[in-house]
Amino acid sequence: MARPATAAVRLLTGEREPVRLATAVNILLHGLQAIDGVPCEVGDRVLVKDQADPTQNGIYTVSEGEWFRAADARTARTLQKGTTVHAQIGSVNAGRVFEFSADAPVVGSDAITIAPFVPPDISEVAGEVESLRDATQALKDASAASAGQAAASASTSAANAGLTAADVVTTAANLAGAQAARDASLFGKGIFPTIAAAIGLGVVGHGAITAGAGGTDGTFDLAFAGGAGSGAA
């Protein structure tokens, strides 16, 4: 079984003798009162860490009158940065270890800051978690930006597709108009591009073309519904 650390060992290691209680709020440093949900008694060691005036923070011995600083926590050396103290009981602070973080404070004049102690290995893990969180956030932001760019590209492609479809319709209409104009021109000259076109315009029966001889014009005959026609060819 390990022997309790002596005052000399505590001084060398920066570990103070445990306190019975540790404050959770600002208190009056006078008389008997409840600390962290537990009534304190005369002679109790109390870690006072939450004062509105941080120069009052430190380790105190409880008295019915004015509280006084504990014998092992009255100088800059005994409250220097890295000094730790363990709280034994309390509603919030039971079993917790606290660390002084001010660098050689002048007791009674300088602010004394005290915070929960975090072992070095846990600090390293916390740092790695923080870095991982930052990297994850950066990846999330980059993914959101890429998604926005993809949505913009999709919108542009859809607009271009709409324009292309409109162009096709316009081109088809232009071609149909040109075809109709060409057919009208041919019909006016008695030329029919298809049998259906000829029949639609009343050309029925038969026709004959006679070639000219000796450089003379030939002739043609066509039978129409309601009449006939002939001419030079």
Q: What is the DSSP letter of 56?
A: G
pLDDT of residue 229: 54
Measure CA 135 to chain center: 11
Is residue 16's pLDDT more than 80? yes
pLDDT of residue 97: 97
Measure CA 64 to chain center: 57
pLDDT of residue 86: 97
DSSP-assigned beta bridge partners for residue 219: 210, 232
Is residue 62's pLDDT more than 90? yes
Q: Are 197 and 185 in contact (CB under 8 A)?
A: no
Q: Are 114 and 57 in contact (CB under 8 A)?
A: yes
Q: Classify the C-alpha dihedral 154-159-161-162 as positive or negative.
A: positive
pLDDT tens profile 124-160: 655 666 777 887 888 888 777 777 777 777 677 667 7
Q: How far apart are CA 101 and CA 80, in angstroms?
A: 7
Q: How far apart are CA 49 and CA 69, in angstroms?
A: 13
Q: How many residues does the chain have?
A: 233
pLDDT of residue 32: 98
Give me the chain's average pLDDT, please: 78
pLDDT of residue 140: 84
1 confidence band (pLDDT: 50, 70, 90): very low
Structure tokens belonging to residue 233: 């060819």
Is residue 228's pLDDT more than 60? no
Measure CA 224 to chain center: 82
Output phi, psi for 38, to 5 deg.
Answer: -125, 130
Is residue 6's pLDDT more than 90? no
pLDDT of residue 3: 42
pLDDT of residue 100: 96
Which of 23-27, 52-56, 113-117, 216-220 is the least confident region?
Answer: 216-220
Structure tokens belonging to residue 194: 């298809």
- Spatial strand order in the sheet of 219-224: 203-210, 219-224, 227-232
Most confident range, picked from 30-39, 113-122, 130-139, 184-193: 30-39
pLDDT of residue 120: 74
Neighbouring residues of 66: CB distance < 8 A, sequence distance ≥ 6 = 29, 30
Is residue 58's pLDDT more than 70? yes
pLDDT of residue 221: 62
Is residue 123's pLDDT more than 60? no
- Section 152-175 average pLDDT: 70
pLDDT of residue 152: 73
Q: What is the DSSP letter of 101?
A: -
Q: How far apart are CA 14 and CA 183, in angstroms?
A: 108
